[in-house]
Amino acid sequence: MPANIEDRLARAEAIAAQRGLAFTTLRRQVYELVLAAERPIGAYELLAALAPQRGPVPPTTVYRALDFLVENGFIHRIESKNAFFACCELGEPHEGQFLICEECGHALEIPGTELADKLSHSQPAHGFEVHRQVVELSGICGDCKHSHAHHKP
């Protein structure tokens, strides 16, 4: 397992312990799979990946683990893909802003609250109280764009 994944798992476990949260074996395994995917991954892909380790796991069990990870800021839910992606700023509450490649499926989280603040406090908001905000931008990543440039006749 890559060191970065091990480091992020250790950090997540430390944050959970600090907050008094139960970071169960299943939650750790689900989080590890989301980290390893390096792209938005769906619940049924996670179920399939867990099967060799745990045998058949009920979908509701995985969804509960995903809910825990989302609620506690370890992962984000990518609405347009109905998939999950590892958070870039563990332990720091923030709104998700994502660049999602239409070709390869990779995603990148853009940290920062400026856009979220600007959107939720703009004049057209008319006092609307934002509870959750996810901004998803769809396009072609630099690698795919570069690959297409080299394959053009």
- Per the annotation, binding residues are 101, 104, 141, 144
Residue by residue, pLDDT tens for the chain (153 residues) are 556 999 999 999 999 999 999 999 999 999 999 999 989 999 999 999 999 988 888 999 999 999 999 999 899 999 888 999 998 877 666 777 889 999 998 888 887 667 767 766 666 666 677 676 778 889 999 989 888 766 655
Distance set, CA 41 to CA 37, 85, 152 (Å): 7, 7, 31
Q: Which CATH number fits domain 3-151: 2.40.128.260, 1.20.1300.10, 1.10.10.10, 3.20.190.10?
A: 1.10.10.10
> With b meaning 16 or more CB within 10 Å and e meaning fewer, what string describes 32-47?
bbbbebebbbebeebb
The domain locations on the chain are 3-151
Which residues lie closer than 8 Å to 129 by C-beta, 6 or more apart?
A: none
Annotated binding site for Zn(2+): 101, 104, 141, 144
Are 39 and 102 spatial neighbours (Cβ–Cβ below 8 Å)? no
Q: How distant, in Å, are the alpha carbons of 5, 40, 86 from that of 105?
A: 20, 7, 14
Distance CA 77, CA 42 (A): 9
Angle (CA) 137-90-106 rounded to 5° is: 35
Q: What is the pTM of this model?
A: 0.81
Residue 90 structure tokens: 């563990």
